[in-house]
Every structure is written in structure tokens, then in C-alpha cells.
Amino acid sequence: MTTLAETIGALFAAGAAADRIEARQAFRALQGALNDGEVRAAEPDPATPSGWSVNAWVKQGILLGFRFGDIVDFSSDHGKWPFFDKDTMPVKKPMLTDGIRIVPGGSTIREGAYVARSVVCMPPMYVNIGAYVGEGTLIDSHALVGSCAQIGARVHISAAAQIGGVIEPVGALPVIVEDDVLVGGNTGIYEGAVIKQRAVIGAGTVLTGSTPVYDLVRGVIIKPEPGQPLIIPEGAVVVPGARAVTVGAGKDWGLSLATPVIVKYRDDKTDTRTELEAWIR
């Protein structure tokens, strides 16, 4: 019996020549499994350096949904709010029994995203297809959880934080934010960066797949290994910093470049929020 992963892989390989009806059926099956949390775009894997592995076939299936969807009218309020999108990508309609708190005010979760019980959604926030959000997490106002991003349990995603989406390339790891992480306001985490458990990302910090992070505590510069994502260590407290430009005209002009800095590591005796405020004021 052919598995859903095998079916999607074959359809994806066929490209535009794939059977349209079969592709839409396979996508719908995947979408349902993503909704229920039965499959994920990435999952924990202790055997990998990052602790995570990507399920490329899931991303392939999502791309099938975009490729073989038709643009239809999704307008709201009798057409007063015009929206036009692929018919394969409707908005999720959670039930009261799902146990998700969605505060009124314009938040959206796409079908094909898993949002666990006791998640709190403050308006307006957005969760894209393929994302996974663990129980007890707070997604604050104007925050984005991008396509295929994996968010753990009890994570605080503060206002205007951007968790980037990674659908392509299909083999690339999406952004991972593990359990009990605090993501400060106006932060940006992109390009498959991995934030390990209990880390704190201070307000205004930007992390990408190629960002060097200066660890003042351990005296090292954290850089992604070839073919691997940027990994922020467990319990690290990361705040925005600056590094002087030492070459060319930048030195003469007194310029500096923004760079994330690890200023401490969390411990049980520290009020993390208070400590973070002391560093960023």
C-alpha cells in the first residue's frame, strides 16, 4: 500500500504534469493530518546536530496545495473585506471544544496548522500552514508564526515578533522554537534558526541562518556549521548588540554593525524578565 508520503513525493516529482485531482486529494489528506498534529514539517531527532530533522515530503505536499489550488473569493462581511486566495488554503475554524483562546480582533490561523489546547491568540496574530504550536503558548498581537515553523509548549511570542516561514527549499529546516522560550517584542527569527529550550530572545533581536552570535559568558562566537542552522543554546539570554567596523571607511566613520549577544544563561534563581530589562534599558 502506497503511503501518503510516497504519493506526495511522486506527485511533486511530476511537477505541472501531476494528476490534478490526485494532487488535491493528497494535499487534503496532508492538511488534515497537519491540523491534528499527526504529522509535522519537522520533528525532534536526537541523532542530528540540531536535535531536529525536516520532513521534506510534508513541505512538498504543501507546495502541491499551492500549485493545484484555484484562486477564489474569500471576502468577509458580504464583500466589504475583499480577500482572494487559493481554494486549498482556507482559514481554520476552531471549535470551542478545541480549547484554544482566540481573543476577538482579527487573528487568523490557516488550515493545515496545528494549534494545541490552551494556546492564547491575541489579536491580530497569524499562524501559517504547516506550523505547529505547542500547548500553553501565547502568541501576542501582530506576531507571525510562519509556514512550517515549530513552536514548543509554554512559549511566549511577544507583540510584533516575526517567526519566519521556510517552505522552500523543501529540505531546509524551518524555524524551531523549543519549550519555555521567551521571544521578545519586535524580534525576528528567520531561515531555520533553532532556539533551544528556556532561551530568552530580547526585544529587537534579529537572528537568521547566517547570524554570528557573540557569547560573552563562554567567550565564543556561535556560527552555523556548514549545512546546519544557527543554534541558540539552551537557557541563553540573547539581546541586541553592536560590533565596531574595523576595516575600510567604516572604521573612519565610526560605524558599527548590529549583532546578537548572549549576556547570561538562565538559572532557577533569576527573574528572567527583570534581568533582561536591566540589559536592554
Task: Please state, in angstroms and rounded to a whole number, the distance separating the CA atoms of residues 157 and 185.
Answer: 8
Residue-range domains of the chain with CATH: 4-67 (1.10.166.10), 90-280 (2.160.10.10)
pLDDT band per the 50, 70, 90 thresholds, residue 270 = low
pLDDT tens profile 122-148:
999 999 999 999 999 999 999 999 999
Q: Which residues have CB under 8 Å from 66's CB, separation 6+?
A: 86, 88, 89
pLDDT tens digits, 166-200 = 998 999 999 999 999 999 999 999 998 999 999 99
Nearest partner of 90 among 105, 76, 104, judged by Cα: 76
Residue 231 vs residue 1, higher pLDDT: 231
Residue 101, amino acid: R
Read off the DSSP letter of residue 16: G
Q: What is the per-residue pLDDT across 2-52, written as a single tens digit (0 to 9) for each?
A: 799 999 999 999 999 999 999 999 999 999 999 999 999 999 999 999 999
State how far the Cα of 135 lies from the Cα of 67, in Å rounded to an integer: 32
**pLDDT score recorded for residue 271:** 59
Residue 156 · residue 120 · CB < 8 Å: no
Work out the pLDDT band at 78, boundaries 50, 70, 90: confident
Query: What letters, b where the CB count within 10 A reaches 16 and e where it falls short, cover 39-70?
Result: bbbbeeeeeeebbbebbbbbbbbbbbbebbbe
Q: Are 124 and 102 in contact (CB under 8 A)?
A: no
Sign of CA dihedral 94, 99, 102, 103: positive
3-state secondary structure of 76: strand
Query: Are 153 and 178 within 8 A, CB to CB?
Result: no
Cα–Cα dist 241/5, whole Å: 43
Q: Are 214 and 259 in contact (CB under 8 A)?
A: yes
Half-sphere exposure of 13 (CA within 13 A, CB side): 8
pLDDT score, position 281: 42
| Location of C-alpha cell 560573552 | 216
